[in-house]
């Protein structure tokens, strides 16, 4: 499953989202110069300038022979960078600098720049699954309902972070009305439900260490389908605690199923959350897993 990065000199392209997580990236080139092993790597650094630009830069890096393309940002930046790498021999690296950093936290990738750069020197390469919704790629988490509404509102905020995220949830939770959904799992199990939100989890968390799918694995060929009913306002503190304790699946408000293919039918084509970014798609959604389709650098078991 995992292979050690070889000693051959590799071409590394860093794609930096300069506004992700409201963290300054001005010193990042100097950090690369200080911490990346010059015997193992040659590198280029590019800064994205607008939404979608990281995807363009990743495609260009691949055309130029990149062995490793590193996303310096959050889950949205990872999504853009990964799009060109899926199904290729190129490897994704992650320097977490977003708001929630859900995928990085699932993979135990260090949040500090210096340690994350050192991981590129010494880490292992593993294959992970990716998913699609109506052909649109997601790597970590996708979802519909309240989750997607929060993603849409969060994207409009000038200052992101946990407290901004929590503020949006607190402001909108009470007035939000659960929506009606119909799901078909792997072509045979049909579920009709009214839910606060439905999360399609490849990794286990939204970010900020809030774990929505404690048993999700990135290499099992399955998505965890988490159907969350709306609790009353007085039960919310318990729900929040369960998210942080990785025990939300034990709540009576949560059902978790696993499937490789999901049909999800909504009444309207509202926004979908794709790795934290809001995207408007058709009301009828086809979700599929693409097993072991992305190479990614992870911490070595010996570290």
Kindly list the distances between the CA atom of residue 146 and the CA atoms of 87, 103, 125, 265, in Å, as whole numbers in the listed order. Answer: 32, 20, 35, 16
CA distance 86 to 97: 22
Q: Structural domain boundaries of the chain?
A: 2-128+293-298, 136-291
Sequence-ordered list of residues with C-beta below 8 angstroms from that of 254, at least 6 positions apart, any chain: 226, 227, 228, 229, 248
Triad 18, 24, 29: Cα angle to 5°: 75
Phi, psi (degrees; rounded to nearest 5) at 209: 65, 25
In CATH terms, are 2-128+293-298 and 136-291 the same topology? Answer: no
Is the domain 2-128+293-298 a CATH 3.40.50.10330 member? yes
What was the pLDDT predicted at 4?
A: 44
User: CB of 83 within 8 A of CB of 293?
Assistant: no
Q: Dihedral (C-alpha) 38, 20, 134, 69: value to the nearest 10 degrees?
A: -10
Nearest partner of 202 among 258, 254, 149, judged by Cα: 258
| Burial (0-12, 13-18, 19+ Cβ within 10 Å), 112 | exposed
pTM: 0.91
Cα 288 versus chain centre, distance:
16
CA distance 150 to 217: 25
Beta carbons within 10 angstroms of residue 172's beta carbon: 13
**Which architecture does CATH list for 136-291?**
Sandwich (2.60)
CA distance 168 to 131: 27
143's enclosing H/E stretch is strand 141-145
pLDDT per residue as tens, the chain (303 positions): 344 444 579 999 999 998 876 677 788 999 999 999 999 999 999 999 998 999 999 999 999 999 999 999 999 999 999 999 999 999 999 999 988 899 999 999 999 999 999 999 999 999 999 999 999 999 999 999 999 999 899 888 877 778 888 899 889 999 999 999 999 999 999 999 999 999 999 999 988 889 999 999 999 999 999 999 999 988 888 888 899 888 999 899 999 999 999 999 999 888 999 999 999 999 999 999 999 999 999 998 755
Q: For residue 37, what is the DSSP state?
A: -
Looking only at the bridges linking them, the beta strands covering 91-96 and 284-298 are parallel
């Amino acid at each position: 499953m995992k292979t050690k990065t070889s000693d051959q000199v590799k071409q590394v392209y860093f794609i930096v989202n300069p506004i992700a997580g409201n963290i300054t990236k001005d010193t990042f080139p100097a950090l690369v110069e200080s911490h990346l092993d010059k015997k193992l790597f040659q590198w280029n650094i590019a800064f994205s300038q607008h939404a979608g630009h990281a995807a363009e830069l990743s495609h260009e890096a691949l055309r130029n022979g990149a062995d490793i393309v590193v996303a310096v940002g959050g889950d949205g930046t990872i999504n853009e960078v990964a799009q060109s790498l899926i199904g290729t021999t190129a490897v994704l690296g992650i320097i977490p600098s977003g708001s929630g950093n859900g995928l990085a936290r699932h993979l135990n990738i260090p949040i500090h720049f210096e340690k994350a750069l050192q991981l590129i020197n010494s880490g292992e390469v593993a294959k992970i699954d990716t998913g699609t919704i109506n052909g649109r790629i997601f790597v970590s988490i996708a979802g519909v309902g309240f989750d997607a509404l929060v993603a849409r509102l969060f994207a409009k905020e000038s200052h992101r972070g946990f407290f901004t995220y929590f503020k949006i949830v607190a402001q909108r939770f009470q007035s939000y009305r659960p929506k009606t959904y119909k799901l078909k799992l792997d072509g045979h199990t049909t579920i009709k439900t009214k839910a606060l939100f439905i999360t399609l989890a490849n990794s286990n968390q939204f970010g900020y260490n809030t774990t929505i799918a404690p048993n999700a694995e990135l290499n099992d060929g399955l998505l965890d389908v988490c159907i969350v009913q709306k609790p009353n306002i007085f039960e919310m503190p318990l729900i929040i605690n369960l998210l942080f304790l990785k025990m939300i699946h034990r709540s009576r408000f949560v059902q978790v199923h696993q499937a490789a293919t999901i049909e999800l039918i909504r009444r309207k084509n509202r926004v979908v959350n794709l790795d934290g970014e809001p995207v408007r798609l058709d009301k009828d959604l086809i979700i599929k897993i693409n097993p072991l389709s992305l190479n990614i650098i992870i911490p070595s078991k010996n570290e």
